Structure 1
Amino acid sequence: MSTEPTLRPERPFFSSGPTCKFPGWSLDKLDIKSLGRSHRSKYAKGRLKYAIDLSKELLGVPDDYLVGIMPGSDTGALECAMWSMLGNRPTTVAAWESFGNVWIQDAVKQLKLPNLQVLDADYGHIPDLAQIPQENDVVFTWNGTTSGAKIPNTDWLAPGREGITINDATSAVFAMEMDWAKLDATTYSWQKVLGSEAQHGMLILSPKAVERIESYDPEWPLPKLFRLKKGNKINTGIFEGATINTPSMLATEDYIMALEWARSIGGRKAMFERADANAKIVTDWIESTPWLRNMVPDPAQRTNTGVCMVFQGEWYDNLSAEEQAAVPKTIASKLEAMDIGYDFNGYRDAPPSLRIWCGGSVEAEDIKRLLPWIEWAYEALKNGTL
């Protein structure tokens, strides 16, 4: 495409986190009655509890599971689960992109877990999860935020297995159905699929996870931010709006507004459908574009949120490694400067790539309008005119 496109995305927000605000979002729509109040006040605590209850409702979390608000975004919630529950039996940590590799480093260098099995794979691939012994505790990332590779199913987790399962679902919830019966600790952050504000995470615990926490004291010290017990019992207050430390009520109200929007359009099923439709637009375009390929070769393992693509073809293959790395950066930078699309360059540790967020808060029409601009920028770069 040598002619510059004419249609521009109305909302050029394609970042994979924090992600796009939902359509119609406006700051003046926030409920601000909790601002300037103690988070322990009856009203503010009620709003925190409402955020928890609405999250549980929309995600279809079983009634006997606990849902709590944690500090430190998904990272804080996930590491709290690791620090609180791991260490008393063999553990497997499986990873296929950068954030999963952080959990590997936590297990190896920080917790120094004995009897540790590490499974990893290159970007775009998933390791053989059937290698995991069912008696092991398991830490894994449902959807690879920086690689675009997701687990296609949970068949590799046996029903009633002995070990606990810790699931980083931050770029999966509200886009993919969770198999709650096989998940013991599930975490996510407000700023991913719902496009809310950052710094707060969610921790969802099964009865099996609660039993592990209550019956096991790890040998390492637990920071205050990770302490889920009061005496020898789970601190149920955390799961009723009494957060461990002071939350941002402004961020809480933004999260509530995003949850209410998701409910208004049909709940998580509607969010799934929007993400699927958005991802199909991008994946079909990749398939029809000879100088691109999906980073994930197996269609069953391709995400419907952060779709990642790499370059190919004679012109690109003849570039030096340094020149190849500059291709997606140059395209993304040019279109950002033109206010066509923001933050869709690939992750810094991933192979040179582009990554377009397709979660449910993004409008399909904006994605359709972005893609011709990428084609235009690629051809201009190839012809030396960008």
Structure 2
Amino acid sequence: MRRVAVTGLGLVSSQGTDAQAVFEAWCQGIGGIGLHDIGEAPHTLRIPYALCREFDAAPVLGRTRLTTMDRVSQLGTVAAQSAWGDAGLADLPAEVRDDVAVHWGTGGGGTHTTERSYRDLFLKGRSRISPLSVVLGMLNASASHIALQLGLGGECLTYSVACASSSVAIGEAFRRIRAGELTLAVAGGSEAAMPYGAAKAWESLQVLAPASVEGPPQCRPFSANRQGLVLGEGAAALVLEDWDHAKARGARIYAEIAGYGGSCDHSHLTAPDAQGQLRALRKALRDADVQPHQIDHVNAHGTATREGDPVEVQALLGLLADHAPEVSVSATKSLHGHLLGAAGAIEALATVLMLHRHCLPPTLNLDPLHLACPGLNHVRRPDTSSRRLRVALSNSVGF
């Protein structure tokens, strides 16, 4: 089996589009969450949110093309373009690009287009909506626009597995390359700012952090003061490449993907299950031929929900056992919010940069630690001297 390298990184987040600069901010404990009104007046909902407020895709994609793209595709295509350039592949010949794949994840796809169509029909009383509504709103639109932008002719696949979507996209691309079916792939995910209808649906689940808390809006994974999800938008892309191919062309290698595992807990529509998560974690380690005592760091899913955090702690303790006190754990959602289908990709990107730069971002707002979340070595302060960091695990969970 072939080794798989990560040779390019691209990011669009509430803190900017420079992956290295944003990661530097995370390492200093600087997050990108604020209070924002979701929707269009008079239908708005004020919630803590990580919004890409200054994002403008026009300089990369051109204003005319933006009319054919939902915001989720704009975010994803800009991130993928950035990762492609970061990997040094701008001059890759067209005949080689015909074998490069796109593996992309999203939970909602073009939700803005769908809601706009409903508003036009039912609120504004229009008899027709844009003929582009179908192609803008399709779940596979982001992957298709990435292939169009980069001229990639390989398989173009979309994964929708709730908040694990982009982790699965990266994992499946990794498997294809390791098996020798691909040499290069662009993998990741995107999720756009939530429209009003979707935000109200999440509010009905009673899992969102409220806007009425004292002080600045915060996401608090594993904390006794956690109050729920802080959602966000953005995109992250990784260029995955056959290790020998990357070496032969002199590419910079950020990290190696060594293994991947997935599972279904088949227990409940929304409530998490520790044994289901543990099966996926153990599969990933077996796939990588890594023992629990070899893990140095875990980037946790860390949703800051009442049920989710304790169950993830149970799963991680079941995996790490006696080695748990030696493994540092961070939850980067406290910095960038929960990007739903794109969460796994932004957390994978963060984990890659942790290994590459030997820096561990902290879990913000952690103290006091919840009594149901003991036993893990949480990163409470920025750690910029993690020289022993060699093996890291990124964990994703979805409904």
TM-score by length of 2: 0.24
Larger radius of gyration: 1
